[in-house]
Amino acid sequence: MNELTHFSAAGRARMVDVAAKSDTQRVAVASGILRMQSATLERIRAGRIAKGDVLTVADVGAVMAAKRTSDMIPMCHPIALTGVEVEFGEITEPDARGCLGIKVITKASCTGQTGVEMEALCAASLALLTIYDMCKAIDRGMRIECVQLEEKRGGKSGVWKRGEPT
């Protein structure tokens, strides 16, 4: 089991000192889903949301969130990101409530001393929250599901992928 590194010997919260770590190429991929009524998804597809192009705004929001992660997560290091990518896909298989959805996949990368998992997760979360914000007037029942890390590469721990044994 890994030691919780964000606590001092006295049990106080602390930002981990990464000065002794080597710079490596680091990449993290995260995903999440926003479930909505089929009519809402259709209006997004057709560009008929009053606030504008939903996915373009969500894409920009995701990049902004990745860049500002250390401002939102108290013990996160500011990271010089080298890239942020955002992809959207439709979920056309209805869930038990008959809702369809949009899936976001975000990828954050850097060369540095600490990973970019939180940046990828913040980007995915903010993309989904942006879509919710832009569509809430027509579908307040939307719900965010399964925001999760899919993969991370780099650093001492190497590669981790969801669903693979650790």
Look up 53 and say whether it is catalytic. Answer: no
CA 150 – CA 105 distance, rounded (Å): 9
Identify the active-site residue in 17, 59, 71, 133.
133
CA 14 – CA 99 distance, rounded (Å): 42
DSSP secondary structure letter of residue 115: -
Element (H, E) at 125: helix 117-135
* b (16+ CB within 10 A) / e for 22-44: eebebbbbbbbbbbbbeebbebb
> Beta-carbon neighbour count of residue 91 at 10 Å?
17
Residues 6+ apart with CB under 8 A from 49: 43, 134, 135, 138
Task: List, by residue number, the catalytic residues.
Answer: 133
